[in-house]
Structure 1
Amino acid sequence: MGCESRDEWVLKGRDRLHDLPGTYSVVRCFGCGLLRTDPRPTADTIGYYYPETYGPYAGTRIADSRFKTAVNAVKAFARSVLKTHSLSLPLLEPGRMLEIGCASGGFLARMAGKGWQVEGIEFSPTAAKNAQDAGFSVHCGSLESAPDPAERFDLVVGWMVLEHLHDPVLALNKLHRWTRKNACLAISVPNAACFQLGWFRERWYPLHLPAHLYHFTPETLEALLNATGWRIEKVLYQKVMTDLVASTAYLIEDKWPHSSVSRFLKRRPDIFNLPLYPLALLLSRLGQSARMTVWARRIDK
């Protein structure tokens, strides 16, 4: 964000999600405090770290069976009742919505069902085709390289996407141009200010090295949004325990490499969200959960 190139080393880690080769550092900018991955894969090589088995691609596929439809309905009901804030939006009248990182189109379908005119941008050709085959207008490629839309948007959403972008300043400036006056931006990112990063360090699940290029705190995210024409209206700390459970699995794995416990925890960390909900509620109220959802409003520069 225009700072001098002086950084403080924080930690070194590797790709734990897919066990791909390489080691990467996380450094903190002396000027603004923003954490970033160093070295970062280039825009041409980053696709290597998103194999076809990447979870969000499969997890957002539109249900094609009664069983999947029922499972998705249960998940949506749980999010609503427990108010996890994972896909939370302010109350808005339906209009035109853009989802960046729309994966296979699950959220696009949800919002289209509520009367929104939806479009998406997705980096993965396979996931983008899944969404296109479902009937949605989806640009396959990066947000930074996407062409201007035919009409401006009233709402832009990006669920766990901003940390993946090579140039978030360019991207947010672009979204500012693409939206109408007073448009809403709803995004979620990992919360690098929570205690879990200090506890687990390179084993913290949301680091997701090297695919996560930036690691935001509420303060650095607000500075970025302010610099690109967005004003934060609300920060919601998500009430989910997936990251704490998965980070614990990494810790167990490093101490006992052949542990069946670590394999189970890595495979299904989400099943602990309900039994650990009281702890998630406490961490959310303290601003110490591992993920945050932010609502921001477009302002004139």
Structure 2
Amino acid sequence: MLELHTNAPAHWPRVRLEGLIPSNAPEVQTANRLLFSTTIETVFRRSGIQVLEADVLRLTREGVVEIPLRVRDGELEYDLFFYPVADEKAAAHYVAVYELAQKWGRLRPVFYSTDDLLAIYPAEIEPVARRDRLYIQAALSAPKGQYAMWWAERPGELFHYSSTYDLFDRIYREINGLEMRAFALILLELGMIREEYEFTASSLTDTTVEIPVEGPEGVPLIITFSQHRGVRFHFHIGRTSAEYRDLFLNLFLLRLKAWRKETDLTQARRLDSPSYTWWRELGKRLRMTDNGEQAISAVGSIRR
């Protein structure tokens, strides 16, 4: 039976594995991860440490990070990373995760491995956060409740002075004249179309398309699209924090920037689109009418 090395809190129980195969082969990784997860759940249950979920996605400012296992000890939550092979590559991955956590928060990483990763000189450190997709899944229906693009967290809070407004503004600028193609990216990820050209202006009527989805971390939202208002994201107010809202919008912005770099946009239209014009006019109206006493409490509301 092999006792794993870790940088976990000192009061946590030791973890010993029997039957571990030290290999990074894909077919072996699944078995090793299952062995690790079941052992952790058994050992931690006796110590009062709660296993929250396995194979979870966490949003960060730099993209989405895949977490093998999340646990709660008292008031604190931890992200557990398992490395069956303790080598330079494993050390580099953990260093990248740790630096990401130190820079932006939201993660509290702990490693378990067959050797002390902190004593191994890491290989070249590469980004661990992914931004090549939104990690959304289509839902049959949206959970009941109120959804919105933005909502006030405290009295007197103004949308056009918020970080959320700034993110939406950057998104509208990024896809100005490219709204159809940006929405096609979402449809491609959801598997609703196979090629971008399948979604065209002729696919739409004057109505708004609404798609309920589940985002990273299981958060429900509704994606809407119309030629008049473009691509919009409406988050479930009761189940979404302001932090998550901004992180998801930032992920979409990162996705758009990556897409623009790899896509030929030389034939794209240069004039402002109807949706960008609508967004710009909305900002003007809000700045003229919003004040601390009669501030708008939510923008882009949808009730289900």
TM-score (normalizing by structure 1): 0.22
TM-score (normalizing by structure 2): 0.22
Larger radius of gyration: 2
